[in-house]
Amino acid sequence: QVQPVESGGGLVQAGGSLRLSCVLSERTFTSYRVAWFRQAPGKEREFVAGTRWNSPHYAASVKGRFTISGDNAKNLVILQMNSLKPEDTAVYYCAAGQDSWASITSPREYEFWGQGTQVTVSS
């Protein structure tokens, strides 16, 4: 089984940066898709950034500001968040699932989920 564990959330001022980390229980970068989702109060969980066949994809709302990367040797996935905005405030989740050509943005395509980490951006 693959069990993501997130860390790195916190409080930051608008325009600042945060680095979220996700550690996987096993090496999955070549066999699984990995993604970050977020969920704000009263809203549905939405796709932020992810990989399919190790190729990165980003939601339009974060493209150019966020970067997803990995360290295969450490079984680690990173979400570097720059130029943060108050609307980025949410609980961020790391997710993993069997790689395929199915939608990369649908939470239903991911079997394994972390517990979430809170990101709060003040104005």
DSSP secondary structure letter of residue 104: S
DSSP string, 22-72: EE-SS--TTTEEEEEEEE-TTS--EEEEEEETTEEEE-TTTTTTEEEEEEG
**Using an 8 Å Cβ cutoff, are 36 and 79 in contact?**
yes
What is the residue-level pLDDT of the chain in tens, covering all 123 positions?
A: 788 999 999 999 999 999 999 998 876 555 678 999 999 999 999 999 998 877 899 999 999 999 999 877 778 899 999 999 999 999 999 999 888 888 999 999 999 999 999 999 999
